[in-house]
Structure 1
Amino acid sequence: HIWEVVGFNQPENMAGQGSGMALDVDLDPILQAKGSVDVILFCMQGSRLKNTPTRVVKHINDVSGGRITIVPVITNLERERNMEDWWERNGRGVKNMGLGEIEHACITGL
């Protein structure tokens, strides 16, 4: 199964309008699904890496009891000559937010 959840890292959330309660509502269909959830692909723009991911990761871990792996998928890297270079420069910061301990993906769209 694949679920799409409204972006946690959107500007409206960064402006302080996103709350833990709103995150509960967004995650509810996933966490109450008949099948188990093994991984969440947390997509975020590399240029907008702020403190929001830390709050989201903490919330997901609190709600799931830490049983769901969260993999960061870094987008908006079109200007990078080699997308892995972005990870070399920023990976430590992402890991400090509680993400990327297992794997990560750096992607671009067409």
Structure 2
Amino acid sequence: MRMPCTTILVGKNASYDGSTLVARNEDSSNGVFEPKRMRVVHPDEQPRVYTSVLSHLTVELPDNPMRYTSVPDVVPGHGIWAEAGFNELNVHVRTETLTQRARRARSS
């Protein structure tokens, strides 16, 4: 069964105890899901240059990064896939794969 990625966000004014909550599922075309772990990434652990694995684009990053959380896959060697997290200012960032079906042009 193919399931789309879904995220539910609850702001501090909407939760019972003032917590900010995020829940996210992961899509899978074959029904196999990787276990996740919660990780806090501190500024001194972050690189100052990012190079894309696929395009090899290199981007210089700021010298003063923020602490953030991420939710990478647990299994080593399967990729990072850290697709959701919050920075120290409580800004939430996540990934989403958006696709569309190609439309056929109708002949008149």
Larger relative helix fraction:
1
- The question of a shared fold, defined as TM-score above 0.5 by the shorter chain, is answered with no
TM-score, normalisation: structure 1? 0.23
Richer in strand (by share): 2
Report the structure number with the largest CA radius of gyration: 2
**Which structure has more RCO (C-alpha within 8 Å, separation ≥ 6)?**
1
Question: Normalization by structure 2: what TM-score?
Answer: 0.23
